[in-house]
């Protein structure tokens, strides 16, 4: 046989190994599901978890201290991408574990887990993108899966409604993003972040309006994905309507991916616009913290409340991005990592509460939980205190990191506003604790006894406390994870 010669250099695929594994396994699960008898459909979930674990392993193995480029420099695997991928995969594992009981009675669960993997794949591609096209495609892959997952419970009206709203608004946001990208392409003639950054840096003053327009539209499109106010309006509805494990999943993973790629875009493609994007981000951060923390107070449904809490938290995370520099970006990563655990923990408790198939979602349902299930009550209390940023729990250090970074970067007023709203936010988190510990039980719930879930809750609680007591290792890791970009 003659040697096969490619008419073009064969792309390096090693850095893409985790993505390839996930893509292949997602499709395998999709097919395998067809051949599984109905009572064994649950196996697909375990296969999905195994895939995630293998992906974690592959990510750890392939990520080195240096950036590795692949696909003509459109894909990069650096410590930053590696770390955020680990967070994303971690969030996906949480999402799958939380789904185990919840989705047991649903139809098409093979497709469900497969879609979760595809969504994860989209996010993984997104955080590794160094090109607007790849970024956009990854983002769409993620979003499309999420639209379907949100509307997975077709028989539940508010689930379908939430999916439709999410889809329409998401499309609008994608349009904005594309429009912004097209402007930057028109200005620079390239779609690679680095090339765009160079071209924008050498542009004259007369183009500032077009640049601003591209900037605003790109940020608007991205802000939608991480639900920054005023692009947050879909969040409460989608959170409430989605199946709770999906709510947990989309409360964390897309935020990690969104912030990661946002950081990459502003660092690589928009360095010359720092003053502008910092101004925009400052407004978005203040608005998010205000809307998230204030509106959460008026909520009776805990999923809605946590939706607003997410909005408040992304406002805080944005402070890290505003601060910039190694300190700011690592603070952002610290916040994302801690947020992953405390948010997932809180949702795990919500999922554990169900009575005859009815999910406990109202704040009232938590009343008197401490007497029925003291262990869960303690864990929920810890998560709530952590979300509120009470020392010495993980959430405190996350807030501390971003606030200190903001102060050091000279954004004292933003930090003060952040502290003010975190004080407001403490109210509704601690209200949950009040319901749990000081109110009489109103509705009796029988709690799910899935040992995997219980172990998850326990481990999560320990992690939150451990980070609270020993924050340094996490901070060091996050600082090291910036190797690729700063």
Partner 1 sequence: MTLSITELLLIPALPLIAALLTGIFGWALKEKLSHLICCIGVIAAAALSVHVFLQVLDGASFHGNIWTWMISDNFIVPVGLMIDRLSAIMMVTVTIVSACVHIYTIGYMHGDPGYSRFFSYISAFTFSMLVLVMGNNFFTLFFGWEAVGLFSYLLIGFWFKRESANVAAMKAFIVNRIGDFGFAIGILAVFYYFGTIEYKAVFEAVPALVAADFSLDFMGWEVSAITFMCVALFIGAMGKSAQVPLHVWLPDSMEGPTPISALIHAATMVTAGVFMVARLSPMFEYSEFALAMVTVIGAITAWMCATIGLVQNDIKRVIAYSTCSQLGYMFVACGVSAYSVGIFHLMTHAYFKALLFLAAGSVIHAVMAEQDIRKMGQLRKYMPVTYITMLIGAIALAGVPPFAGFWSKDMIIEATMVRDMGWASEVAYWAVLSGVFMTAFYTFRMFFLTFHNSDRVDEHAKSHLHESPKVITVPLIILAVGAMLAGWWGVQALGITNAEMANNYFGSAIFVMDAHNPLITLEEHGSHGWYHFIFTAPFWLAIGGIGLAFFMYFRETTHPARIAATFPWLHSFLLDKWRWDEMNWKVLVMPARCLGNILWKKGDLGMIDGKIIHGGIVGTVLAGAAKLRNLQTGYVYHYAFAMVIGVFGLLTYLLLGS
Partner 2 sequence: MLEAAFFYLFGGLAVVAALGVVMARNTIHSVMFLIFCFFNASGLFFMLDAEFLGIILILIYVGAVMVMFMFVIMMLEVNFARLREGFLQYLPIGGAIAVMLLIELIAAATSGVFSSKTASTVEHFGREVNNTMEIGKVLYTKYLLGFEIAAIILLVALVGAVVLTLRSRKDAKYQVISKQVKVRKEDRLRKVEM
Q: Which residues bind partner 2 (CB under 8 A)?
A: 8, 11, 16, 23, 27, 30, 70-72, 74-75, 107-108, 111-112, 114-115, 118, 121-122, 125, 131, 133-134, 137-138, 140-141, 144-145, 147-148, 151-152, 154-155, 163, 183, 186-187, 189, 203, 206-213
Q: Pick from partner 1, partner 2, none: which does 420 bind, CB < 5 to 8 A by kind?
A: none
Chain-centroid distance, C-alpha 29: 24
Cβ atoms of residues 324 and 257 within 8 Å = no
Q: Is 147 in the site for partner 1 (CB under 8 A)?
A: no
Candidates 10-18, 82-90, 184-192, 209-217; binding stretch for partner 1 (CB under 8 A): 209-217
Q: Which of residues 302-361 bind partner 1 (CB under 8 A)?
A: none
Query: Which CB, 139 or 379, lies closer to partner 2?
Result: 139
Count of residues of this chain found to bind partner 1 when the rule CB under 8 A is applied:
39
Contact call for residue 466 and partner 1 (CB under 8 A): no
CB of 173 to partner 2, least distance (A): 16
Q: Which stretch binds partner 1 (CB under 8 A): 61-69, 119-127, 262-270, 292-300?
A: 292-300
Nearer to partner 1, 96 or 177 (CB): 177
Q: Which stretch binds partner 1 (CB under 8 A): 23-31, 160-168, 252-260, 328-336?
A: 160-168
For partner 1, the closer CB: 172 or 407? 172
The listed partner (partner 2, partner 1, none) that binds 234, CB under 5 to 8 Å by sort, is partner 1
Picked from partner 1, partner 2, none, the partner binding residue 140 (CB below 5 to 8 A depending on kind) is: partner 2
d(CA 165, CA 186): 32
Q: Is the Cβ of residue 194 or residue 216 nearer to partner 1 in the bound state?
A: 216
In this complex, which beta carbon is closest to partner 2, that of residue 145 or of residue 382? Answer: 145
Could you say which residues in the range 166-185 bind partner 1, by CB under 8 A? 168-169, 172-173, 176
280 touches partner 1 by CB under 8 A? yes
**Between 220 and 348, whose beta carbon lies closer to partner 1?**
220
Strand partners, 346: none
CA separation, residue 451 to residues 41, 92, 216, 409, 417 (Å) = 19, 19, 47, 46, 42
291 binds partner 1 (CB under 8 A): yes
* Residues in touch with partner 1 (CB under 8 A): 164-165, 168-169, 172-173, 176, 208-209, 212-213, 215-217, 219-220, 223-224, 229-231, 233-234, 236-237, 276, 279-280, 283, 290-291, 294-299, 424, 427
């Amino acid at each position: 046989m003659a040697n096969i010669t490619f008419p073009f250099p064969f792309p390096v695929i090693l850095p893409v190994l985790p993505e390839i594994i996930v893509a292949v396994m997602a499709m395998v699960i999709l097919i395998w599901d067809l051949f599984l008898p109905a009572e064994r459909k649950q196996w697909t979930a375990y296969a999905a978890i195994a895939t995630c674990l293998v992906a974690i392993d592959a990510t750890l193995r392939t990520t080195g201290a240096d950036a590795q480029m692949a696909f003509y420099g459109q894909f990069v695997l650096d410590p930053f991408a590696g770390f955020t991928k680990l967070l994303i995969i971690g969030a996906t594992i949480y999402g799958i574990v939380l789904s185990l009981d919840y989705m047991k009675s649903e139809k098409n669960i093979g497709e469900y887990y497969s879609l979760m993997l595809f969504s994860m794949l989209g996010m993984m591609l997104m955080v590794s993108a160094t090109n607007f096209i790849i970024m956009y495609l990854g983002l769409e892959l993620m979003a499309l899966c999420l639209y379907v997952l949100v509307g997975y419970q077709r028989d539940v009206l508010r689930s379908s409604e939430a999916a439709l709203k999410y889809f329409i608004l998401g499309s609008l946001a994608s349009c904005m993003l594309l429009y912004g990208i097209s402007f930057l392409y028109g200005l620079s003639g390239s779609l690679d972040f680095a090339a765009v950054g160079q071209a924008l840096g050498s542009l004259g003053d007369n183009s500032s309006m077009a640049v601003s327009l591209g900037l605003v539209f790109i940020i608007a499109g991205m802000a939608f994905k991480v639900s920054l106010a005023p692009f947050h309006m879909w969040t409460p509805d989608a959170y409430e309507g989605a199946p709770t494990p999906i709510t947990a999943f989309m409360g964390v993973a897309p935020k990690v991916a969104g912030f990661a790629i946002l950081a990459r875009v502003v660092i690589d493609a928009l360095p010359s616009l720092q003053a502008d994007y910092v101004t925009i981000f400052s407004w978005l951060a203040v608005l998010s913290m205000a809307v998230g923390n204030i509106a959460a107070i008026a909520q009776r449904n805990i999923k809605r409340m946590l939706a607003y809490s997410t909005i408040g938290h992304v406002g805080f995370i944005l402070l890290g991005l505003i601060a910039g520099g190694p300190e700011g970006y690592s603070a952002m990563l610290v916040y994302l990592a801690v947020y992953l655990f405390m948010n997932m923990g809180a949702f795990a408790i919500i999922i554990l509460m169900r009575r005859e198939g009815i999910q406990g979602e109202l704040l009232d349902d938590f009343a008197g939980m401490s007497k029925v299930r003291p262990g869960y009550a303690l864990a929920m209390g810890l998560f709530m205190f952590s979300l509120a940023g009470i020392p010495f729990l993980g959430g405190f250090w996350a807030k501390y990191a971003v606030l200190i970074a903001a102060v050091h970067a000279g954004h004292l007023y933003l930090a003060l506003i952040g502290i003010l709203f975190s004080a407001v936010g403490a109210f509704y988190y601690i209200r949950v604790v009040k319901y749990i510990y000081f109110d009489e039980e109103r509705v009796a719930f029988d709690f799910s006894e899935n040992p995997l879930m219980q172990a998850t809750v326990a481990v999560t609680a320990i992690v939150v406390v451990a980070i609270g007591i020993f924050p340094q290792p996490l901070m060091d890791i996050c600082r090291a994870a910036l190797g690729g970009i700063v």
